[in-house]
Structure 1
Amino acid sequence: MADLKTATPSSSTSYWREWRQRLAFWIGALLVGLTALAFAWLADAAFASFRCLLEWAPWSPLLITPFGFALLAWLTQRWFENAKGSGIPQVIAALEMPSRRLRARLLSLPVAAARMSLTLGALLVGGSVGREGPTVHIGAAVLYAFGRRLGLHGRRTIAGLILAGGAAGIAAAFNTPLAGVVFAIEELSRTFEQRFSGLVLTAVLIGGVVTLGLMGHYAYFGEIGGRMPTGWGWSVVPACAALGGLLGGFYAKLVLPTDHGILGRVCGLRSRYPVRFAALCGFTLAILGLVSGNHVFGTGYEETRALLGAQPVTDPSFLLWKFLANVVSYLSGIPGGLFSPSLSIGAAFAPLLSLIPDVDPQACALLGMGAYLAGVTRSPLTASVIVLELTHSPDLAIPMLATTLMATAISGWISPVSLYHALARQIIDKLHASGRESNDGTVTQIQLNEKP
């Protein structure tokens, strides 16, 4: 009896600790979903404002885009360096980071707020960026901060918070709960030691359900319903895979920092003159916009919708202009994601490849979207599920998986390292280097194995 009495308080403490952890994940995921919805609404409003300015003054990007890029680069470089880029590498780096202090620098709420604000600024001046990658970073930061505020600790628990927050962000951003789960397993959890737990899964689903509850059950690009290829139509699968893998790998090769060749000199100029380099990127984007009829600015959502129509009407040259727009926008160093602009590039395969006999143009666009996204991210399952969920096209599951798997392999021949994980490694190395330097220039040892 004495043993039972002494065990009861411990059991009660363990019970409430378990429920506190559950509530942290569930309520935090709800906050992530609401934040993602607010961010989506603000992003649409920001780019709509840019569109209105374009209608009033078609030449305005020549002024506001270079100036806007320069301002955003200066703010990012000066105050919010951990908000640079898409945000997904920061989440991967945080999952790998053993030091609590360094992890907090990546996932602080001020950094998340800065990423949201600066991404909105990028869309306001016409940047060819998306909001989905930043939403992953913001979601991870929100759930991490909420869990820490409730006193959660331990490496496995903290990693679970980051993983669930990032995945809930992608689920809410696209209104694709299943894609959020797959993204967490395939992309984020490559560096996560424990199995994908039911608690993390529930949190991801809550993030997606928030969007479903407030926005309804809708497809991001509408009901497309592309037809399964038949006969010669199956040749579009290797064609899309080859084009998506080659372009995706080439994109990764162009944007990853290097010390060699022409790209090394470009990276050197960006490091020495980040603000002026960003202004030059903004001016280049403005020129591309004028050449393309102002179709390369922003996320590419409207252009993707047009390309997914029964009879695509977008100029085939859009593929080239949008690809270059994505490259210069990312090289500028401003915050912004890759997902939506990448989907628009993949959809632009349709005007080129729909000339193949027995090919449905809509199916060609969908397979192109999956192929290019897989080529860029090296995440074939995530790319497949995102496209299928965004368009409610389950009939294309088999050709989609075949396309994305081949595109991922082809991309690896062009750029041997994964884009997100290579960028995450650079972030970790840079944080470790800066963390070892004290204010007076002496070197101090970081406690890498401190309590998470």
Structure 2
Amino acid sequence: MQQEPDFVQNLRQEFGDGWRWVERCIVLAYAAAAGLCVVGFTMVAEQAFDWFMHIYRWQGGWAVLLWTPCLTAAIVWATRLWAPGAAGSGIPQVMAAQETALNDQQRSRFVSLWLSASKITLAGLGFLAGLSIGREGPSVQVAAGVMHHAKRWFGPRSGITSHALLVAGGAAGIAAAFNAPLAGIVFAIEELSRKLESRASGLIIAAIVLAGLMGVSAFGNLNYFGRIQVPSLSWHALLPGICVALSCGVLGGLFAKLMAASLTGAPERLNRIRAKYPIRFAAAGGLLIAIIGLATNGATFGAGSEEVKHMLAGEAELPALYVTLKFIATWLSAWVGVPGGIFAPSLSIGAGVGHNVSLVMGSDIAPALIAMGMAAFLAAVTQAPLTAFIIVMEMVDGHSLVLSLMAAAMLASLVSRMIARPLYETLANYMLSQVPPAVPPKAEDAVQKAAASS
């Protein structure tokens, strides 16, 4: 028979350990710093893309044919030289950093204060180049790098582990980037950790709350895409909804498969060229992205958030091939090796699918189909359906669409799993396979002595 908890004894034990409270204060301070870093990154990204749009509008936009490839090549050069761990989304790096077999030096290849600062700078330059990237995935790596830095203050007997700090930081990054605290919690469970220790749950929630408060303080407690007006859905919405979910499931699965193949060495011929001439490859990719952007009157440049807002408001004037061209521009932006995420572009592609289906099958429920497309495509790409539908629900204040968003995300994720392996897990495993083995201390001393004697 279990004994009832003794309130007085537990209270005395709780407040009797002063160092435990010091550790908690350190974690909370780092969580606030992580939130502020994400806020700063958001401001940098938005300002950089505003500057790019000024360049795009200058002289009919032809300047981007030189600007985008040159800046893309410069970003890839700087990334490879100074911060190779900052390339790509950032979520696979945080997942890889949780590998318990890594030592501190190996883990610093994936998360550190230097990589966080580099990610903000280089991804900001990516927005300045007009690349089809998002800031949400990078926000995960930025916040996780800041949070993990707190580990140096804790001893080996501390209950706060590197794993808990990384999960808390990554979740806080999602919460602050999307202004979606529930999505941060679910993302921590579904994508980053796959399980949640009871001791770490309070740490994660505290980090999410503080990081979220930093975002709310800077930008206000507003929904990312505002509040959509959705008419009451009836059975006539079933067929368009299924079409959106299945289309996004197939497209998202193909996108995940293409991304995984491109970033892990296949197709071999093109990746051999990419490995041999990375700067030229980046310039060529940047040129293609600029051409696609010009062909779509600028619709494929950047994350695509403005296009989503126009679609939800019924004011979109998108080219007929928007979904296909945004798909290609996002893939190229990731493949050339610049730091940048795919969350926001995925939402834009999914919204485009929903918009296209609404034009053909049901324009009166267009906002609902667009929201379902966003959740479905993001779920198909990440194979994290709970995170996807909660992100969209919080971004559009779509509580009336909970069941529709959930069903679309689950169906699209199921279809995607038949086509591709989980994208972030695949990339994280590939990154771990590229980590050089740790050198034992004695062997390292022998190498240094041999080098000194020669």
Q: Distance in 2 between matches of 1:259 and 1:347?
A: 25
2:227 paired residue number: 223
1:330-341 → structure 2 map (5 Å cutoff): 330-341=334-345
Q: Deviations over 1:111-147 (max 9, x none)?
A: 1111110000111011110111111000000011134
Q: Deviations over 1:203-258 (max 9, x none)?
A: 11221122223322101111113335312211123211111111111111112136
2:141 paired residue number: 137
1:161-180 → structure 2 map (5 Å cutoff): 161-180=165-184
1:361 paired residue number: 366
TM-score by length of 2: 0.89
Alignment size in residue pairs: 432
**One-letter amino acid of the structure 2 residue matched with residue 409 of structure 1:** L
Distance 1:221 1:97, change over 3 A: same
Distance 1:363 1:312, change over 3 A: farther
1:69 paired residue number: 72
1:269-308 → structure 2 map (5 Å cutoff): 269-308=273-312
| Match among 114, 123, 126 for residue 110 of structure 1 | 114
Q: Distance in 2 between matches of 1:55 and 1:334?
A: 24
| Match among 241, 253, 270 for residue 237 of structure 1 | 241
2:321 paired residue number: 317
Q: Deviations over 1:149-171 (max 9, x none)?
A: 45577686221111111111111
Q: Distance in 2 between matches of 1:437 and 1:317?
A: 55
**Contact 1:224/1:308 (CA < 8 Å) preserved in 2?**
yes
1:370 paired residue number: 375
**Contact 1:307/1:350 (CA < 8 Å) preserved in 2?**
no
**SS in structure 1 of the partner of residue 297 of structure 2:** coil
CA RMSD of aligned residues (A): 2.6
**One-letter amino acid of the structure 2 residue matched with residue 82 of structure 1:** G
Matched, 1:400 2:405: yes
Matched, 1:414 2:453: no
**One-letter amino acid of the structure 2 residue matched with residue 171 of structure 1:** A
1:389 paired residue number: 394
**Contact 1:33/1:211 (CA < 8 Å) preserved in 2?**
yes
Unaligned runs of 5+ in 1: 1-9, 445-452
Q: Distance in 2 between matches of 1:333 and 1:384?
A: 28
TM-score by length of 1: 0.89
Deviation larger for 384-393 or 303-312: 303-312
Deviation larger for 363-372 or 203-212: 203-212
Q: Distance in 2 between matches of 1:442 and 1:131?
A: 42
Distance 1:313 1:437, change over 3 A: farther
**SS in structure 1 of the partner of residue 301 of structure 2:** coil
**Contact 1:227/1:395 (CA < 8 Å) preserved in 2?**
no
Q: Distance in 1 between matches of 2:65 and 2:445?
A: 46
1:431 paired residue number: 435
Residue 100 of structure 1 and its aligned partner are, at CA, apart by 2.2
**One-letter amino acid of the structure 1 residue matched with residue 191 of structure 2:** E
Q: Distance in 1 between matches of 2:96 and 2:44?
A: 27
Residue 21 of structure 1 and its aligned partner are, at CA, apart by 2.4
2:203 paired residue number: 199
Q: Distance in 1 between matches of 2:274 and 2:340?
A: 17
Distance 1:74 1:153, change over 3 A: farther
Unaligned runs of 5+ in 2: 1-11, 448-454
Q: Distance in 2 between matches of 1:260 and 1:106?
A: 17
**One-letter amino acid of the structure 1 residue matched with residue 393 of structure 2:** L
**Contact 1:249/1:411 (CA < 8 Å) preserved in 2?**
yes
Q: Distance in 1 between matches of 2:236 and 2:109?
A: 53
**One-letter amino acid of the structure 2 residue matched with residue 78 of structure 1:** L
Deviation larger for 191-200 or 354-363: 191-200
**SS in structure 1 of the partner of residue 194 of structure 2:** helix
**Contact 1:177/1:207 (CA < 8 Å) preserved in 2?**
no
1:49 paired residue number: 51
